[in-house]
Structure formats: structure tokens, C-alpha cells
């Protein structure tokens, strides 16, 4: 068989994505909604990103940098009211929704200038999210500093999350802490989220981030954390010499479909957001391949059930 041309490959993947049948999960269940993080296409213009998302059956976009500018309020697409309106019009025209803004705000720092800068950055992202009708802002927990007591760090993260949630009060925005860095054990995460319960706080469940460190079965982690989960990051990887090598969905060692199945069975209404870390790992597959493969592989799995 002759190799598919690039044009044929793109057309076929779009057809599969658009033709998803909900299978035995039942018509009363929420139809899974897919998004991808712009971390996967750091050199694409915004018009190219939205065109690609529309063509490949995505419903949303998670913005984590545009053309390698990670401070989103400085991006031309968001820097003025006129530009924000034009950006939102383009999204609506393509039938897409903003599903999250990926900030770099990190909450484990002790009181001081660094902590304040991270909190201020988180608040700027919350303000931008409100302006563009985006429901979530992601923040990091993120580490256990060696010179800081473990319980102190957990308290700092929880109090930081509560402060940011308080800033979002009166808006439609929720601040979501990602399962990330050294904060990937379900009991630690549960401790933080119980302490930071708020109408405007929640959790991004990155299944791979947790499993690659802890080995905890996703179904066990989900049972503990599900009431806090508002958004997900979906990715796969194989562990080589103790480090992850990212793969296309279903090609690695992460029990990613187990986590996805837990969400689907529980009628999770949020987005399944593909996080292809091309920005940090330039050696992995190009976005034209990886971002096209995700909706096909995701829906192929669900159609087996």
C-alpha cells in the first residue's frame, strides 16, 4: 500500500474525529469534549491553531503560550480590548471555546518577593480569563523545598490557592491547581484541596504526571480526588532510564485509558485536554502529527467499549 500523503492523512483523521459514535457508554452520557494545549505547537500563529483545531474535531483550546510568549496578557491576541474581541470572534467563528489559561504561577514559595510575584501573575491571568470568557486558570503547587517543613509547604500552597480563588470571586473563573512537580501523591493533593475548598478553586488532573512518579492506579487516585477535578491533561509516555519519553496516545506505558474510562463512566463534563509538550521537548513528534492523532486515538478507544 502506498504511503498516505500528508493531505490525505489530515483529511482522514478529521473525518474519523468528526464521525465519532458514542458507543456503549450510552446516549445519556456526556459526549466527550476534546481540547489541546498550545504547548504542543509553540511556533504556530493563532489563526493556524484555530484552523487546525476546527479541522480535526476539537471543541476547545487550552492556551499555554503563543509563539513562545508564555505571559499571555502580553500576547497581541489579548493585549488590548479590541484585540481580545477580535480573538473571541475568531474562536466563535470556528466553533471553539477557550477552556483554560496556563499560567506559571507557583504556590510553594514562602512569604517574600518571589511568592508575591507568583500570586500577582496568577491574578493577572484570572483577570484575562474573565475578559475572554475562559472558565479556568491553571496554577502549579509545585515542590517541597529542602529548607522548608513539608506541612509548611502544604499550608503555603493551600493558602495561595485560596488567595487566588478569592481574587476570582464575583467572576466566572475558577483557579485550578495541576497535579504537577513533586505534588503528585493523592494524599498530599487531597490535603491541599480539602484545605483550599472554595467556589472558585479546583483541580487539573494530569493522569500521567501522577502515575509516572507514584505508580498509583488512576482509578484509585480518581476516587480520592474526583470531587475537585474540573479539567484534565491527557498524555502518554514510556519510562526510559527513569525519565519519560512522550508518545502518541496509547503507545506508551501510562494507563491513560484507565483514567479516561473512569472519567467517562462518571459522566465527567469537562474537557479532555491533550498536552503535547513540544515546547519543552523539541525532539518529540511535530504537532501536525501528534495533535491530529489525539482525537482519532481517543475516540477509537471509546468506540471499542
On the CB side of 157, how many CA atoms lie within 13 Å of its CA? 33
Task: Output the nine-digit C-alpha cell for 286.
Answer: 511535530
Tens of pLDDT, residue by residue over 83-111, are: 999 999 999 999 999 999 999 999 999 99
CA distance 61 to 50: 8
| Residue in the block written with cell 504556590 | 107
* Residue 209, C-alpha cell as written in the block: 504526571
Instruction: Tell me how crowded residue 255 is: count the other CB atoms within 10 A of its CB.
Output: 17
Picking from 70, 197, 78, 92, the residue whose alpha carbon sits closest to that of residue 127 is 78
pTM: 0.91
- The domain ranges of the chain are 6-19+33-303
At 164-191, the pLDDT tens digits run: 999 999 999 999 999 999 999 999 999 9
**Cβ atoms 233, 184 nearer than 8 A:** no
Rounded Cα distance between 226 and 235, Å, is 19
Q: Does residue 151 register a pLDDT over 90?
A: yes
Predicted confidence (pLDDT) per residue in 4-24, tens digit: 344 444 444 444 444 444 444
Q: How far apart are CA 121 and CA 106, in angstroms?
A: 9
| Cβ contacts of 92 within 8 Å, gap of 6 or more | none
How far apart CA 106 and CA 180 sit, in angstroms, is: 10
The fourth-level CATH superfamily of domain 6-19+33-303 is Divalent-metal-dependent TIM barrel enzymes (3.20.20.150)
- Do residues 74 and 205 lie in contact, with contact meaning Cβ atoms separated by under 8 Å? no
Amino acid at each position: 500500500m502506498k504511503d498516505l500523503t500528508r493531505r490525505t492523512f489530515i483529511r482522514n483523521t478529521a473525518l474519523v474525529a468528526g464521525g465519532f459514535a458514542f458507543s456503549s457508554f450510552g446516549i445519556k452520557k456526556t459526549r466527550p469534549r476534546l481540547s489541546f494545549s498550545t504547548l504542543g505547537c509553540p511556533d504556530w500563529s493563532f489563526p493556524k491553531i484555530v484552523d487546525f483545531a476546527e479541522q480535526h474535531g476539537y471543541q476547545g483550546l487550552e492556551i499555554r503560550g503563543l509563539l513562545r510568549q508564555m505571559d499571555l496578557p502580553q500576547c497581541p491576541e489579548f493585549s488590548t480590548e479590541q484585540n481580545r474581541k477580535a480573538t473571541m470572534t475568531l474562536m466563535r467563528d470556528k466553533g471553539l471555546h477557550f477552556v483554560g489559561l496556563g499560567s506559571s504561577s507557583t504556590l510553594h514559595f514562602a512569604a517574600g518577593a518571589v511568592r508575591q510575584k507568583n500570586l500577582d501573575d496568577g491574578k493577572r491571568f484570572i483577570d484575562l480569563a474573565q475578559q475572554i470568557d475562559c472558565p479556568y486558570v491553571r496554577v502549579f503547587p509545585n515542590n517541597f523545598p529542602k529548607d522548608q517543613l513539608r506541612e509548611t509547604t502544604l499550608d503555603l500552597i493551600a493558602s495561595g490557592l485560596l488567595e487566588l480563588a478569592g481574587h476570582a470571586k464575583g467572576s466566572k473563573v475558577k483557579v485550578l491547581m495541576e497535579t504537577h512537580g513533586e505534588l503528585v501523591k493523592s494524599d498530599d493533593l487531597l490535603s491541599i484541596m480539602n484545605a483550599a475548598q472554595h467556589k472558585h478553586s479546583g483541580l487539573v488532573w494530569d493522569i500521567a504526571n501522577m502515575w509516572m512518579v507514584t505508580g498509583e492506579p488512576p482509578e484509585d487516585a480518581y476516587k480520592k480526588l474526583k470531587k475537585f477535578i474540573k479539567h484534565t491533561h491527557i498524555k502518554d509516555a514510556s519510562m526510559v532510564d527513569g525519565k519519560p519519553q512522550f508518545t502518541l496516545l496509547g503507545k506508551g506505558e501510562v494507563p491513560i485509558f484507565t483514567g479516561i474510562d473512569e472519567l467517562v463512566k462518571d459522566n465527567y463534563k469537562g474537557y479532555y485536554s491533550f498536552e503535547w509538550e513540544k515546547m519543552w521537548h523539541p525532539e518529540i513528534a511535530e504537532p501536525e502529527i501528534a495533535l491530529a492523532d489525539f482525537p482519532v486515538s481517543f475516540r477509537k478507544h471509546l468506540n471499542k467499549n
